[in-house]
Amino acid sequence: MRASKLAVKILKKEGEDVYYDPIIHGRTLKIVGIDDDPVEVMNYILTQYKEKGYTLIAFDTSGRFPTSLFDNVLRIEENTPAGLDPLKMAKVGLIRDPYSAVTIIQTIYELDRASTEKLYADFVRGKVSSMNDVVKSKESYAEVINESYTELDGMLFEGEPTKIPENCLVDLSGLNSITLTGIAFLIISAVLEDRRNVVYGLYDVAVLTFTDAGNAGLPLLTRPARRRVAILGTRYPLDQVLSIPGPLLLLYNDPDVQSAIYESQGVPQGLRRFVNKGEGAYIRRSPETIEVEFGELLREQGS
């Protein structure tokens, strides 16, 4: 039953619509399927939110996410200046404070606390103002960073600070490196952290969060907050994805994969059913119980 203005249709069963309601079910919805099925379902859900007047910002690692919903497409590619230097972005106010920018660098390059505090002090005092300054420094933090810093990292940071416009698709499919993908996702997530009246779409969330840096970016967008929702899609039902809090929409998949997903969500045997092509199982939990609703994907979503 529809309960709030944030509720959107996801399935149809016995002539009735099944709704995902972030207010009641949780503000992060996971969608797991094969091939491009999650993309099609995400696109349908995001369309409904756009019709409700919400801003849409989606990340895409596949290069197959439809662009028609978005007013802007930001493409991040390897060996091309991307303007994602966290220090420069903090200086112009894109990242909310200097320490947040420094902790991003700490996460990416695994700095210890002493090195992090030294870098923060040098940034605040103006001794370094960009990642280029940092890697050329003679301080101990530069030595640690340079152990894993590459020219491709440098290109990711090079250029004028990038602004993330409204209704934007962030296309990360041009990054072949899973490491660079995670870095870019973390930095852009920090820019987007405080936005409201927004729905985030993350595909493929397993790819975006595979590294420590990428995983650190996830809670910046999925932390419960008023007037925002996160829709996560994946073809890879990894434990790190299945353990993310929030309801799950299970699409057609191999039988053993479906079984593992049911198990991960704590669904009792009596509530499980094989999900055929063109169908979905909507799994949601509360402190008191677990519920599973089965239905057909709506026609606009394909099969």
**What is the value of pTM for the model shown?**
0.94
What CA–CA distance (Å, rounded) separates 161 from 164? 10
Residue 217, both tokens: 């970016």
Domains of the chain from N-terminus onward: 8-79+167-301 (3.40.50.300), 86-157 (no CATH)
Q: Is the pLDDT of residue 301 over 50?
A: no
Share of the chain above pLDDT 90, in %: 94
Residue recorded with tokens 């007013």: 71
pLDDT of residue 22: 96
pLDDT of residue 213: 97
Digit-coded pLDDT (tens) for 162-206: 999 999 999 999 999 999 999 999 999 999 999 999 999 999 999
Digit-coded pLDDT (tens) for 242-251: 999 999 999 9
Neighbour-count burial of 176, counting CB atoms closer than 10 A to its CB (0-12 exposed, 13-18 middle, 19+ buried): exposed
